[in-house]
Amino acid sequence: MVVEKTLFYLLTGMRGGTNRVRILRSLLEQPKNANQLATDLNLNYKTVRHHLGLLTDHGIVTSTGSQYAEMYFTTDAFSEHREVFERISSDIDSSSPENKEKPT
């Protein structure tokens, strides 16, 4: 239950949730370092580091290596609650302005 509440808070309760969803989706594909994430997602490196810090502090992602070689990946706790992530991220996707149908 704690992980579910944490995910809900991190993804919907504060600014930047959409970017955190994008980062998590990318890490689900394969572990990456902050520079790879920034490049792949077309985000500022410092923005990615900020979001990774939040996700790490809350036990959603973890890292191995040191500084520039630091690789990030999702935790076992996140994996156990992946369906919660999928549900929340789906809700975010459907409410995103770029996904709304434009009037003709």
Helix (H) or strand (E) holding 61: strand 61-64
Pick 28 or 103 by higher pLDDT: 28
Burial category of 92 from C-beta neighbours within 10 Å (exposed 0-12, middle 13-18, buried 19 and up): middle
Task: Please tell me the class of the 2-92 domain.
Answer: mainly alpha
What distance in Å separates the CA atoms of residue 53 and residue 48, rounded to the nearest whole number? 8
pLDDT band at 83 (very low <50, low <70, confident <90, very high): very high
Residues 33/71, Cβ–Cβ less than 8 Å: yes
What does pLDDT average to over the chain? 90
Give yes or no for residue 102 having a pLDDT over 70: no
Give yes or no for residue 96 having a pLDDT over 70: no
Q: Structural domain boundaries of the chain?
A: 2-92
Mean pLDDT of 77-102: 80
